[in-house]
Copies of this chain bind each other. A is one copy, B any other.
């Protein structure tokens, strides 16, 4: 008998952001497939088989999970954050489209999760309170000129801009390139939020501005939120700040 495949979002890390639906899917699985870091976060369960792979190689991981599922296993692929946002879900459907016909008969379930931008935004206030766009800076997936074009159009549209995967060992300067490009369109005082490892022990959140963003350290785990022209900084009594993007384009007179 054919099995099932669930693609489960673990959220940014801590258990307090793991939905009950995700917890149940993890409990019910016969096989867990995933990147070692994510699988390693989960408690081992008797009788449950773990299939751990390196980062990258998403399509191979997806094919492995699909093969296990058609063989009759109840398979879960784990994904950080939400599986649909620059994570495993698109890889699974790409594998299905280019794979054997029988894979299209599988019951495939996507279990949503708290994606990094929601947790990062929550830490600082409400920077995503108005229209925004979300760009994956990883240029091993698309050419840099396309990224540059999207940044320019997003700036012209005055979207709040969220950047996922802003740097890696192979591409350490992608974020700086993006900032240099955005400075042509947006004021140096535009708020820029850097967030890493949100909700975990080594969490780091920093508020900077477009004119001074270059020296802030960035790696592949960092998420960056760049304000629109309307994004506001509100000083708190304790010396820290909140950042929010107003729902209206005109702030109220009150």
Residues of A within 8 A of B (CB): 9, 11, 15-21, 24, 58-59, 82-86, 89-94, 96-98, 101, 104-105, 108, 110-115, 118-119, 121-123, 125-136, 141-143, 146, 149-150, 153-154, 156-159, 232, 234-238, 242, 244-249, 251-252, 254
Contact = CB atoms under 8 A, between A and B. Distances in A.
A154 B152 CA distance: 11
Given A108-B242, A154-B153, A134 B136 contact: no
Contacts of A121: 84, 110, 112
A131 B134 contact: yes
A89 to B, nearest CB: 4
A163 to B, nearest CB: 10
Q: Is the interface of A mostly helix, strand, loop or mixed?
A: mixed
Given A19-B17, A19-B18, A105-B237, A126 B84 contact: yes
Contacts of A83: 122, 126
A93 B234 CA distance: 8
Given A90-B126, A130-B90, A146 B20 contact: no
B234 A84 contact: no
A134 to B, nearest CB: 6
A82 to B, nearest CB: 5
A83 B128 CA distance: 10
Contact of A235 (B9, B104, B119): B104
A230 to B, nearest CB: 10
A99 to B, nearest CB: 9
A91 B118 CA distance: 17
A97 B154 contact: no
